[in-house]
Structure 1
Amino acid sequence: MRILVLGHGKTGKLVADVAHERGHGVHVLDAKENPNAAALTPPFVTGFDVVIDFTTPEAVIPNLRACLATGARVVVGTTGWYEKLADMRSLAERKEAGLLYGTNYSIGTQVMFQAAAVLAKGLAKAGYTFTIDETHHVTKLDAPSGTAISLEQALGGVRAPITSHREGDAVGLHTLTATSKGDKIVLTHEAFSRRAFADGAVRAAEWLSTRRGCYDFKDIFSEL
C-alpha cells in the first residue's frame, strides 16, 4: 500500500516509520513543502492509497478539502478542527471518499473511554462528582486536548471540568477522578511514547483503504 503522510513532526515521523515496518511505501510532506495544501494536486494525491494527516488545526482543513475532493481515503490524527467536521463529512460523502478521524489512536485510550462510560453510569446518580486533568508537551496547540474532550463526552452528559497542563515534552497524561463524600476512584492513562498513536493510525489506514464513508476511530478500533 502507498501511504502519504502529511506532517513531519514527532508523531508524523513515527507514523512513517511504523508504516515502513508494516511493509508499506511511504511519502512524507512537511509544512514547508505543502503550504495551504498547494502540493496536494489531484494527480499527486491519486497516486496514494491512503493519506494520514498529523499536521496542525490550521493546516488540516485545506489538506482535507484538497484530498477528499479527489475521492481519497484520509485518516486524520490532528485535533482542534471538529467545528468543520460536518462540512468535511459532507464533502467525503459527495466525492465518495473515505474519512476516518479520532482524537486519540491509542487502543488503550479507547478502552479508557469505555471504562469512563461505565463509571459515569454507575456513580453519577450516587452523588459522585467528576473532574478531568490532562497534561501534554508545551508545543501542543489546542487546550483542552481532543482526548480530554472525548473523555468527557464518554461520560454521557455527566459534567467533568477539564484542567489542562503543558509541561516539557509530556506525550499525554489523562486522569478522570470521581469523588464522593466517602471515597474516590481514579482512572488514568499515561502515554510513554507516541508509538501507540502511530501504530493505531497506520492500522486505521489499512482498515480504511478498502472503505468509503466517514468513521470515528472510537467506533471501529476493535476491528483492527
Structure 2
Amino acid sequence: MGMKIALVGYGKMGKAIERIALSRGHEIVLRISSQNRQLLFSETIKEADVVIEMTNPEAAFDNVKACLDAGVSVVCGSTGWNNEVPAAKQLAEEKGVAFLQTSNFSIGVNVFFSINEVLADIMNKYPEYEVSMEEVHHIHKKDKPSGTAITLAERIIAHLDRKKRWEESQPGAAEVLSIHPVREDEAPGTHSVKYSSAIDDIELIHTAHNRDGFAQGAVVAAEFIAGKKGVYTMRDVLGL
C-alpha cells in the first residue's frame, strides 16, 4: 500500500525522489522548499506518513526537529550536521516515531561501506600500507569532506589501529587519515579508499553515475521505517 510522503528539499534530488516514489505507488502530499518552508511548522506536515528531508547543513536539524515534534517519522540525507544528530535521535525516541539519518542512501554505497570495513580489518595486519582517501562531488555541494567520506573514514579508523583521526589534508602525521576533497562540474559523487605500499596499491572506488541511486535508497528507507518507532540505519534497511 502506498505511503503519503512529504519532501523537505525540492531541488534536483527532491525531484528525483519524487519520480521514484511515484513509480513505486506512493503519493507526494507536500513539497517544501525555501519558498514555503513555513508549512513545516503547520498542521499540514501531519498529513504525511514519512518525511524525506534532503536540504543543507544549516537547515537540517530545525527541519527534522519540526517534523519529529509533529509526530511524523523522518528519513534524512542531509550531511554536515553530525553534532546535532544525537539530539534528533533522542527526540524521535521521545516522540515515539521513527528516524533514520545517513550520509548516503545509495544501496551501492552502503555495500561499499561494508566492504571498506572488511578491508580495513584485513589491512590492520599490514602496517606497510598507507591509507588515504579522495572524494569528488559537484561544485554546489556545501559540506567538505562529504558525509559519505567521513563515514568511510570513521569506519576505517575503527578497524585500523594505526589511524587515530581523519583530516582534510595531504598526507601528514602517521596517525592521521587524509581525505582529499575535490569539487568539479556536476559530478554526482566518487569516493575512493587507497592503500599504498612500495610494492603495490589496493584501491576501492565507488562512482555514482547519477542521482537515482540516492533517490531510490531514500524511498526504500522511507518504506522501511513507515509505521515503526525508534532509530534506524541503512544497515537495518538493507540487512547488511
Q: Report the TM-score when normalising by structure 1.
A: 0.94
> Aligned AA for 2:36?
E
**Which letter maps to 1:220?**
D
Displacement over 4 Å in runs of 4+ = none
Q: Are 1:79 and 1:146, in contact at CA under 8 Å, matched by a contact in 2?
A: yes
The corresponding residue for 1:47 is: 47
Shift in CA distance, 42/223, structure 1 to aligned 2, threshold 3 Å: farther
Please name the residue that 1:145 is paired with: 146
Q: Partners in 2 of 1:65 and 1:147 — Cα distance?
A: 23
| Contact 1:114 1:154 (8 Å CA) reproduced | no
Which residue among 6, 14, 19 is the counterpart of 1:4?
Answer: 6
SS in 2 for 1:39: helix
Please name the residue that 2:31 is paired with.
28
| SS, match of residue 161 in structure 1 | strand
**Aligned residue number for residue 165 of structure 1:** 182
Q: CA deviation at 1:157?
A: 4.7
Show the counterpart of 1:176.
193
SS in 2 for 1:14: helix
Q: Describe the SS at the equivalent of 2:112.
A: helix
Measure, in 1, the Cα distance between the counterparts of 2:237 and 2:231: 14
Residue 221 of structure 1: aligned partner: 237
**Matched AA of 1:101:** Q
How far has the Cα of 1:114 moved from its partner?
1.1
Return the alpha-carbon distance in structure 1 between the equivalents of residues 42 and 236 of structure 2. 28
Alpha-carbon distance, 1:181 to partner: 2.1
The separation in 2 between residues aligned to 1:222 and 1:62, in whole angstroms, is 28
Residue 215 of structure 1: CA displacement?
Answer: 1.5
In the aligned structure 2, how far is the partner of 1:73 from the partner of 1:223?
20
| Map of 2:99 onto structure 1 | 99
CA distance in 2, matches of 1:223, 1:42: 36
1:70 alignment counterpart: 70
Q: Secondary structure at the match of 1:56?
A: coil
Show the counterpart of 1:188.
Answer: 205
1:70 is aligned with what amino acid?
A: A
> Do 2:79 and 2:103's aligned partners in 1 also have CA atoms closer than 8 Å?
yes
With 55-64 and 167-176 compared, the bigger mean Cα shift is at 55-64
Q: For the Cα contact (< 8 Å) 1:16–1:28, is it kept in 2?
A: no
Q: Deviations over 1:48-86 (max 9, x none)?
A: 100000111111111111110122100001111110011
Structure 1: stretches of 5+ with no match in the other structure: none
Secondary structure, in 3 states, of the residue corresponding to 1:214?
A: strand
So what's the TM-score if we normalise by structure 2? Answer: 0.88
How many angstroms does 1:191 deviate by?
0.1
Mapped contact 2:134–2:193 kept (Cα < 8 A): yes
CA distance in 2, matches of 1:184, 1:169: 29
**Displacement after TM superposition at 1:44 (Å):** 1.2
- Give the secondary structure class of the aligned counterpart of 1:40: helix
Matched AA of 2:9: G
Partner of 1:87: 87
RMSD: 1.4
Alpha-carbon shift at residue 190 of structure 1 (Å): 0.2
Q: Given that residues 133 and 175 in structure 1 are in contact (C-alpha distance below 8 angstroms), is that contact kept between their aligned partners in structure 2? A: yes
Instruction: Tell me the amino acid that sits aligned with residue 222 of structure 1.
Output: L
Q: How many residues align?
A: 220
